[in-house]
């Protein structure tokens, strides 16, 4: 398999600010699962479907934008932009600029939380959004993205 073929079967997973604290941050809201555990399960599931993933966590908006740009080399993007979901025009513009299928993902149901969290600037430029299922949100988002990619490859 060439490097180009390998990237066709690669998905970038990008976690935003404070997600590195999962498992110990607001456990009643976000649960006890750590980010490392989520990434390990995503890798296992992706491999079962013939894909690989590369995962990154960044706390700064500029670093997230840079990672979205780098994701352009891969088949698709799972993005939990955390608090930047509701504020970052720069992230929205980066998603549009790279032009790869992107799924927005959140552990909690953003529509049942504070009013300022109920608006996503990213959702309109993503192929889908999964939220409210805890770590399963990531796994459902991955399955949806892989199904979408396989449909495009057929």
Catalytic residue numbers? 30, 106
Residues 6+ apart with CB under 8 A from 90: 61, 62, 65
Residues 6+ apart with CB under 8 A from 147: none
The CA radius of gyration of the chain, in Å to the nearest whole number, is 15
Q: How far apart are CA 80 and CA 63, in angstroms?
A: 14
- Residue found by looking up tokens 């934008």 in the block: 65
Going across the sheet that includes 102-106, the strands are 52-57, 10-15, 76-80, 102-106, 128-131
Tokens of 149: 């990619």
Q: Which of 43, 21, 41 is nearest to 32 (CA)?
A: 21
């Amino acid at each position: 398999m060439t490097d180009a073929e390998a990237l066709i079967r690669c998905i970038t997973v990008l976690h935003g600010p404070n997600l590195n604290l999962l498992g110990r941050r607001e456990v009643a809201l976000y649960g006890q699962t750590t980010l490392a555990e989520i990434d390990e399960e995503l890798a296992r599931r992706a491999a079962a479907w013939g894909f690989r993933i590369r995962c990154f966590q960044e706390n700064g908006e500029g670093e997230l934008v840079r990672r979205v740009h780098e994701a352009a080399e891969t088949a698709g993007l799972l993005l939990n932009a955390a608090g930047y979901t509701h504020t970052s025009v720069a992230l929205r513009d980066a998603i549009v600029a790279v032009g790869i299928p992107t799924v927005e993902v959140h552990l909690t149901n953003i529509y049942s939380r504070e009013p300022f969290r109920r608006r996503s600037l990213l959702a309109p430029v993503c192929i889908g959004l999964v939220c409210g299922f805890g770590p399963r949100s990531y796994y459902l988002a991955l399955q949806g993205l892989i199904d979408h990619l396989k449909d495009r490859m057929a």
